[in-house]
A and B are shown apart, each in its own frame.
Chain A
């Protein structure tokens, strides 16, 4: 429990309007968008600038007080749940776009800017920020950088780390580092930018970011292909890549997901199909036409029931928007949604999806799978009920098996959601003892007091057994 004098000190730093201590207020900062983790913070503060953050960190070091940086709390790993109590720091007052540099195609922002607002801001100049996580309409850029968020366009455009050129970070000891810059090439020192991206708020507090922008492609075309089996769809994905075509987006939806999305969005998705691919290509109109024609041919040869090309960009946009609702649409089916992000080399999608199906049957679970097929990032989503203890146990047992299989197939335990609390137990499977040691050594060097988002990402080293 935090001492009243410390609360008072924090109040002095951020101002009385920007601190929350009442029971009702702080209760609502104990969760994120993952279903199973909850812990109340002692206090919630919204600093105005890095000077205030430096002062706050000094108190945290002195008092050994945990501090968790939180964007919009839309993350899916328990990563912003203040599991050790202490301070939750929000960035609702650090939400300005600082500079739009059209010479160097960069945008400098504060961490609290909503991701979608970046694209709204740069669109009229014909530029865009490619990473597009499913939560972009509410997630903050600071959160995206800390989680190294992916999205639908990752296959062709990469993920958040590919678009962060530089950062300003307050370290645990109060020093401010400025990493990178408006530079494409920069090999001076270690690549601290990339070290910070995806570090889940455990190595420093991001106060500024220089983002790389890209020209908005001239045009795009969207198509859907439906299949009688999930394996046939997964095979088409591999065949398309093997034909040396890199679509901007290649999304996979299984039947459970198709039905849920159609029920919500009413865009005419084929609910009788076992699986569906939603493919979008962008670029020059002539190249798009050629690519889509080739993809269409591959899908038909790959035993697709039906292939349909959206008649214009508006129809395509509607299909893409419907896909964005996949997760939340599934959430309507049952009270609790356990969303995972098993990721394999794309050549292994078919065996992974088959294994997920078999495992769901074995444990009598309802699992819908959708995901970014082009990059092998699958979201097996278990629809269950937190109140059913027996079923929740089976959920964990099933995912233990699914993640073992994922590793076996050369994959990883999280493609884009982050480790947070949810993947701590699986982390050693991916990193091994040496990897765990190296990560922990970096953490210990940069945050010796372990005040920054403790108990996440490095946490435990023993392997979880759910029994």
Chain B
């Protein structure tokens, strides 16, 4: 296939597959510009803004502009963080538009070799398969425990991998610690007898394997808040990585499987702790919109999905008199949690309720860290640039000791960030649930007694 005919086919695909009504919904007011991380990182290039991308998608669909390498680049470099959607007064469904465009590029094999390798490794080969993920987590554990980590550093074996993977390798969490669930027994005495809600925990692929520790922390917090927590065994990855990188068919199958699994349980809520998964779970009705049998089931499912911080505020966890030694923190939102799932207030409410904790907000709170699913692996240069801009905002805040994150992707990316900024000695990166459990533990040692159960407070 010659390059030219392939460009022509892509033009045809844009013509037939892009929803023109939705593209025309953009009235080019430009409100999205100031929120777009790639627009800012590009040095304010309009072609790397949401408004520019929409204009380009429309122009290619209409045959007014030839698709070319620069066009493919601007589509590929979109983080899909959806910050633009959150501020768009005309209600442009940008996520759907960019994902369709990305899908077209994938269908026509326009992605680079490196992206293909990463994609097939992660999106197809790894995330849909809990067993393989566990295996990888075990492998990483072995890799770290065995001393191989040091050895490979010495031998530069990692240099065989793309630079982006090497960078992520350097900040992989200590899997021994993160894979190991937190010991629930010391807390059991504090679990209230009277139950508030029965919730099913959505484990997620990354969280359920490499970050099991964070999931188990979430579950302890939920139980401290009086919840009866179950974890349906047959659930799988939410499908977000497949959906956002254009693997729609696979994402649909994963959605159906999860809906069926959770339908079988008698529960009040489906609880998760990762913005990326939550946004995807919320979008199941859209994903399955062409399947009339599944639409009502998807809607019923999505209506039950909550972030762990929502359940905690709902049950009065922020009313507990938790304490910490004086600690200055900042909070890095998960883009999808904030812009799509719509949760930003609850985590702050929980953090600010802890006596001794000072929450310092970054200038321009909105803003992706550059993680973006597998974005930091396929677009390392752009991701690092965005990350460095973010770190400059954090180092501008004086005395921040911990960066609290809402998502495993952000967590890893911020670990990379503090390293790149040379502040990894002073600044600790932590998930919000770990931080809350730290506060629980500290309060218990201070009081020399169990914390007062939620119902009795």
Residues of chain A having any CB pair with chain B under 8 Å: 17-18, 20, 22-25, 27-29, 31-33, 35, 46, 72-74, 90, 92, 114, 135, 137-139, 264, 325, 327-329, 331-332, 335-337, 385-386
A33→B70 contact, CB < 8 A: no
Chain B residues contacting A135 (CB-CB under 8 Å) are 29-31
Task: Show 19 residue pairs from A and B whose CB-CB distance is below 8 angstroms, ordered by the A residue.
Answer: A17-B43, A18-B43, A23-B70, A24-B47, A24-B56, A24-B70, A27-B65, A28-B47, A28-B52, A28-B55, A32-B28, A33-B28, A90-B44, A138-B30, A138-B34, A327-B27, A328-B29, A335-B24, A337-B27
- A239 → chain B, closest Cβ, in Å? 32
- B76 → chain A, closest Cβ, in Å? 12
Contacting residue for A23 out of B24, B46, B68, B91, CB 8 A: B68
Q: Report if A328-B90 is in contact (Cβ < 8 Å); known contacts: A28-B52, A33-B28, A33-B29.
A: yes
A137→B25 contact, CB < 8 A: no
Q: Please measure, in the bound complex, the distance between the C-alpha atom of A139 and the C-alpha atom of B29, giving whole angstroms.
A: 9
Greatest chain B CB density within 10 A among A22, A28, A73, A137 is at A28
- B68 → chain A, closest Cβ, in Å? 6
Q: CB-CB contacts of B67-84 with A at 8 A, as 1s and 0s?
A: 010110110000000000
Known: A29-B46, A90-B44, A335-B24. 12 other contacts (CB 8 A): A17-B43, A20-B45, A22-B70, A24-B56, A24-B68, A24-B71, A31-B28, A32-B28, A33-B30, A73-B30, A135-B29, A138-B33
A327→B29 contact, CB < 8 A: yes
Chain B residues contacting A139 (CB-CB under 8 Å) are 30
Q: Please measure, in the bound complex, the distance between the C-alpha atom of A20 and the C-alpha atom of B70, giving whole angstroms.
A: 12
Chain A residues contacting B43 (CB-CB under 8 Å) are 17-18, 46, 92
Q: Report if A328-B27 is in contact (Cβ < 8 Å); known contacts: A25-B45, A28-B52, A73-B46.
A: yes
Chain A residues contacting B88 (CB-CB under 8 Å) are 328
B34→A331 contact, CB < 8 A: no
Q: Please measure, in the bound complex, the distance between the C-alpha atom of A33 and the C-alpha atom of B89, giving whole angstroms.
A: 14
Q: Report if A28-B31 is in contact (Cβ < 8 Å); known contacts: A331-B25, A335-B21, A386-B24.
A: no
Chain A residues contacting B51 (CB-CB under 8 Å) are 28
- A369 → chain B, closest Cβ, in Å? 17
Chain A residues contacting B56 (CB-CB under 8 Å) are 24, 27-28
Q: Please measure, in the bound complex, the distance between the C-alpha atom of A386 and the C-alpha atom of B52, giving whole angstroms.
A: 19
Q: Report if A331-B46 is in contact (Cβ < 8 Å); known contacts: A22-B70, A23-B66.
A: no
Q: Please measure, in the bound complex, the distance between the C-alpha atom of A23 and the C-alpha atom of B25, giving whole angstroms.
A: 24
List the A residue with the shortest CB-CB distance to B33. Answer: A138
| B324: Cβ under 8 A from any A Cβ | no
Chain B residues contacting A335 (CB-CB under 8 Å) are 21, 24-25
Interface positions of B from 34 to 56, Cβ below 8 Å from A: 34, 43-47, 49, 51-52, 55-56
B34→A28 contact, CB < 8 A: no
Q: Please measure, in the bound complex, the distance between the C-alpha atom of A72 and the C-alpha atom of B21, giving whole angstroms.
A: 24
Chain B residues contacting A25 (CB-CB under 8 Å) are 45-47, 70
List the B residue with the shortest CB-CB distance to A95. Answer: B44
B30→A264 contact, CB < 8 A: no
- A225 → chain B, closest Cβ, in Å? 24
A332→B25 contact, CB < 8 A: yes
| B452: Cβ under 8 A from any A Cβ | no
List the B residue with the shortest CB-CB distance to A22. Answer: B70
Chain B residues contacting A385 (CB-CB under 8 Å) are 24
B31→A138 contact, CB < 8 A: yes
List the B residue with the shortest CB-CB distance to A137. Answer: B31
Q: Report if A137-B34 is in contact (Cβ < 8 Å); known contacts: A33-B27, A92-B44, A335-B24.
A: yes
Q: Please measure, in the bound complex, the distance between the C-alpha atom of A73 and the C-alpha atom of B30, giving whole angstroms.
A: 7
Which 10 pairs of residues, A with B, have the shortest CB-CB distance?
A328-B89, A24-B70, A335-B24, A28-B52, A92-B44, A28-B46, A331-B90, A331-B27, A74-B30, A325-B89
Contacting residue for A74 out of B25, B29, B44, CB 8 A: B29
Contacting residue for A73 out of B25, B28, B59, B91, CB 8 A: B28
Q: Please measure, in the bound complex, the distance between the C-alpha atom of A98 and the C-alpha atom of B34, giving whole angstroms.
A: 21
Q: Please measure, in the bound complex, the distance between the C-alpha atom of A90 and the C-alpha atom of B30, giving whole angstroms.
A: 15
Chain A residues contacting B49 (CB-CB under 8 Å) are 28
Contacting residue for B91 out of A31, A264, A386, CB 8 A: A264
Q: Report if A23-B31 is in contact (Cβ < 8 Å); known contacts: A46-B44, A73-B46, A332-B25.
A: no
Chain B residues contacting A31 (CB-CB under 8 Å) are 28, 55
Chain B residues contacting A336 (CB-CB under 8 Å) are 24
Contacting residue for A332 out of B59, B68, B71, B90, CB 8 A: B90
List the A residue with the shortest CB-CB distance to B55. Answer: A28
Q: Please measure, in the bound complex, the distance between the C-alpha atom of A457 and the C-alpha atom of B306, giving whole angstroms.
A: 55
Q: Please measure, in the bound complex, the distance between the C-alpha atom of A138 and the C-alpha atom of B29, giving whole angstroms.
A: 9
List the A residue with the shortest CB-CB distance to B46. Answer: A28
- A364 → chain B, closest Cβ, in Å? 21
List the B residue with the shortest CB-CB distance to A138. Answer: B30
Chain A residues contacting B59 (CB-CB under 8 Å) are 27
- B407 → chain A, closest Cβ, in Å? 27
Contacting residue for B34 out of A35, A114, A337, CB 8 A: A114
Chain A residues contacting B52 (CB-CB under 8 Å) are 28
- A418 → chain B, closest Cβ, in Å? 16
Chain B residues contacting A22 (CB-CB under 8 Å) are 68, 70
List the B residue with the shortest CB-CB distance to A337. Answer: B27
Chain A residues contacting B45 (CB-CB under 8 Å) are 20, 25, 28
B30→A72 contact, CB < 8 A: yes
- A35 → chain B, closest Cβ, in Å? 7
A264→B34 contact, CB < 8 A: no
Q: Please measure, in the bound complex, the distance between the C-alpha atom of A332 and the C-alpha atom of B29, giving whole angstroms.
A: 13
- B191 → chain A, closest Cβ, in Å? 38
Q: Please measure, in the bound complex, the distance between the C-alpha atom of A33 and the C-alpha atom of B91, giving whole angstroms.
A: 16
Q: Please measure, in the bound complex, the distance between the C-alpha atom of A137 and the C-alpha atom of B68, giving whole angstroms.
A: 32
- A257 → chain B, closest Cβ, in Å? 13
List the A residue with the shortest CB-CB distance to B65. Answer: A27
Q: Please measure, in the bound complex, the distance between the C-alpha atom of A72 and the C-alpha atom of B36, giving whole angstroms.
A: 14
Q: Please measure, in the bound complex, the distance between the C-alpha atom of A78 and the C-alpha atom of B71, giving whole angstroms.
A: 25
- A381 → chain B, closest Cβ, in Å? 11
- B27 → chain A, closest Cβ, in Å? 4
